[in-house]
Amino acid sequence: MILFHCKVYSWIDERDSTKRVSKSDHPSSDGTVHHREYVINPNFMTDITTNSTYGSNLKYSDNFYNRREKYSSLIIDKTPAQIKTYMDSTPNSNTIALLIHPNNNPDKTAVSTTIQWSNIILADRYNPSPDNHCWVKYLQGAFKIKEVLVNQNIEDIVRLVRSGNETATFTSVHNFFSVNYEKTNTIS
């Protein structure tokens, strides 16, 4: 499984009824369809079906280890076949070096921190500087979710996961425990 970059046309959270795609996000040329770009992890999705207009409908969990967590409903620009290809892809490394800004302050010097990329829930553009920074949300352990500002853009995150190149100097390493939990992704 490997992370991938996509356009999300609809992201509705059942747990708190919020929407992660708003009318202020990227409109289409005719101004009717808005989308937001994310990097998402196929390990967190299930119930993938074809959406003839956009690509796929799917259910996404911010933390599938937590059985209390409800799935979000997404519509994305990737087809089920493309998602299956990402699911079947093998990364060159199990870890990624994120350049995390202390206290999520972009003015502070980023600290290189190694995490397992499979724990990344999503990456989202940082509006004031989308070409240089992004927000990364990841699992730390089975129940703790962290959201950090990194000195990398979402394309950098995908590139690092796919290449396995960790070019940053490591100053700290987080060790995560794994939970044995059987999860199956369904594609129709």
Q: Looking at the whole model, is its pTM more than 0.85?
A: no
Q: What percent of the chain has pLDDT over 70?
A: 76
Domain ranges, ordered by start, for the chain: 4-88, 95-173
Whole-number average pLDDT of the chain: 81
CA–CA dist 49, 75 (Å, integer): 10
Q: Give per-residue pLDDT as tens, 139-167.
A: 987 778 899 999 999 999 999 888 865 54
| pLDDT value at residue 163 | 80
Instruction: Give counts: helices (H), strands (E), the chain.
Output: 2, 12
Average pLDDT rounded to a whole number, residues 41-54: 94
Q: What percent of the chain has pLDDT over 90?
A: 49
Angle made by CA atoms 142, 1, 94, in degrees to the nearest 5: 65
Burial 41-76 (b: 16+ CB within 10 A, else e): bbbbbbebeebeebbbbbbbbbbbeeeebebbebbb
| pLDDT value at residue 128 | 85
In this structure, the strands spanning 172-173 and 111-116 are parallel
Q: Give per-residue pLDDT as tens, 70-92.
A: 889 999 999 999 999 999 998 88
- 124: part of which helix (H) or strand (E)? strand 120-125
Q: Give per-residue pLDDT as tens, 112-146.
A: 999 998 899 999 988 888 899 999 999 987 778 89
| pLDDT value at residue 21 | 67
| pLDDT value at residue 22 | 60
